[in-house]
Amino acid sequence: MADAAQSYDVVIIGGGPGGYNAAIRAGQLGLKAACIEMRDTLGGTCLNVGCMPSKALLHASELFEAAGKEFAGLGIKVGTPELDLGQMMAQKADSVTALTKGIEFLFKKNKVEWIKGRGRIAGPGQVEVTAADGSKTVVATKNIIIATGSEPTPLPGVDFVEGRIIDSTGALSLPSVPKKLIVIGAGVIGLELGSVWRRLGAEVTVIEYLDAVGAGMDAEVATAFQRGLTKQGMTFRMGTKVVAAKVDDTGVELTVEPAAGGAAETVRGDVVLVAIGRRPYTEGLGLEAVGVETDKRGFIANDHLKTGQAGVWVIGDVTHGPMLAHKAEEDAVAAVELIAGKAGHVDYDLVPSVIYTSPEVAWVGKTEEQLKAAGVAFKKGKFPFAANSRAKINHETDGFVKVLADAATDRVLGVHIYGPQAGELIGEAVVTMAFGGASEDIARTCHPHPTRSEAVRQAAMGVEGWTMQA
């Protein structure tokens, strides 16, 4: 525990991607920094019960399904694969432990102090830390960075019940594969975790209030994405509202009705995953002690990451912008560099989004619908992975790349990818857009052959109508 007499240049409340990156960058810049984290491990939701463990299960479940359906066609005879769920969960836990220990190492390397406990702002330049044993310590600091992240949003009428009605954390550690899994919410978390359990043998039904999956996704991509997931075996009930839930010895009974109004009915499942989004975590944070307020949704507003109160900053999910780990990292670097007297800025329009299903979906910038609504004239290039040589050889032909560019200047306004390794491919688009690049810049840049990245180039060629391979 920190010495009460100790004073810091910056104290960060929260040890997730925003918090730990802020701490590391502060250490690099020579600031005396401490990070307060109430978990037993660093890394926040992302490393412990979010991004990292979900990717471990996505990868393992993809290999499990491939072994059962695809290996024989490739000339690999392995017989019928047998699921060892305990080992799958153990390797997930080992990977998570290695990552969280890595953050501890980086703290030591950059002379950052980890203060274990729950942080609460006690007043200007004062943060109270409550340790696991209940003891309290107050640390002094010139700057406070709020990096407390978010938590799953509950659904009215559907209370969480351990093992039956679960959130994303529960879905990462189920002790057995449910026969019937109902996912409420067709966003990133619901579709990723629904994909995991479908591949492992569950019958998965997704219930979504809206008429399209992946809220905010380009409509053409969303349609193709839902069609692909349906082909894989997921069932979708779109435009449907869940109004009540009842748990009994055999499972969960949900009462649902059309979002537009109509007769109610019931559906049953063994397990229900509530994945309707996340909300800022500010409970017990002591914001009132420094005059910081939240909006009606719980977010803390920011002006260049400043809360409006001297020496109090806010980053990540608890403030506005995409609720994504990599956005929190960008906020973290910008906030610390501003504290250190450097320039710091984050362009939220250039934060990419990824859904790590198989195939993946990734996008950055504007959708067709947004450009049309804004009255922006644009040109479009599109290229299917079915015509990409690497994707064809690898039997990964679902999906396409779409490039949207300004009709007058050719500046890239948005790139949308549904296909293999989309999350890796989107980086090229982000860099191009960050430098104000044109579709021609991508189209006339040599890409290695054969690679999936050529699909991005071919789509960019299509903006001017000279796609060569389709």
Cβ proximity of 427 and 412 under 8 Å? no
How would you classify the pairing of strands 126-130 and 136-146? antiparallel
In 259-399, DSSP assigns E strands to 265-269, 271-274, 278-280, 312-314, 353-355, 360-365, 378-384
- Count CA atoms within 13 Å of residue 443 on its CB side: 25
Phi, psi for residue 123 in degrees, rounded to 5:
160, 180
Cβ proximity of 220 and 418 under 8 Å? no
The alpha-helical segments, DSSP class H, found in 286-402 are: 325-339, 368-373, 389-393
Alpha carbon distance 364, 425 (integer Å)? 11
Which residue is associated with the tokens 């153990």? Answer: 90
Query: Could you list the active site residues?
Result: 449
SS3 469: coil
Report the 10 Å Cβ neighbour count for 225: 25
Alpha carbon distance 107, 105 (integer Å)? 5
Q: Exposed/middle/buried for 399, CB within 10 Å: 0-12, 13-18, 19+?
A: buried
